[in-house]
Amino acid sequence: MSLNRIERAQSLRIRSQQDLAAGLFIIALGALAIFLSWDLPMGSLRQIGAGMLPKAIATICIGLGALLALSALRYNGEKLSGWSWRGVIFVLGGAVLFGLTIRGFDFGPIKVPQLGLIVSGPLVVLVSGLAAEDKKWKELIIFAIVMTLFCALLFKYALSLPIPLAPWLLGI
């Protein structure tokens, strides 16, 4: 083998398996988002359609994922290793729980009442916080309260979105 071929082969070697895997995953997520938002109208810059934001963010994700994957060929990094299911379960579980409790859920024998943001907000933060092994309950509870107040002020009052705060208590 010539010296030129050896240099070329070494330059195309994967030096960071984690960066390559993360980059490919982000590219796949962006491609999925574009596929799922394909039927949404883009609109124009004067009148933005429902598909502009998801497609723009997906395109940015694809570009950043490609940069991350390409950096795996240039910079040394860690090998791909196993990862904890704890984070996946609690963070996704918190998001699902939020979706089910914010407006309620009725599917035959399974009924979840509409709890609103006042209950669903802290619930998602506390359940997602269980993903961390070094959590401190006092800080997590304070963070849950602050985030819930911020979200209530932002979404309900500043943006006037029809998000229920506490329909079981306040009727709003």
pLDDT digits (tens, 9 = 90+) for 112-141: 778 888 999 999 999 999 998 888 999 999
Q: Is 22 exposed, middle or buried (0-12, 13-18, 19+ CB in 10 A)?
A: middle
CA angle at 131 for the pair 128 and 36, rounded to the nearest 5°: 60
Mean residue pLDDT of the chain comes to 85
Give the HSE-up count for residue 122: Cα atoms under 13 Å, Cβ half-sphere: 15
What's the pLDDT at 17? 85
49: closest CA among 37, 32, 61, 36? 37
pTM (two decimals)? 0.61
70: closest CA among 8, 138, 24? 24
What's the pLDDT at 43? 84
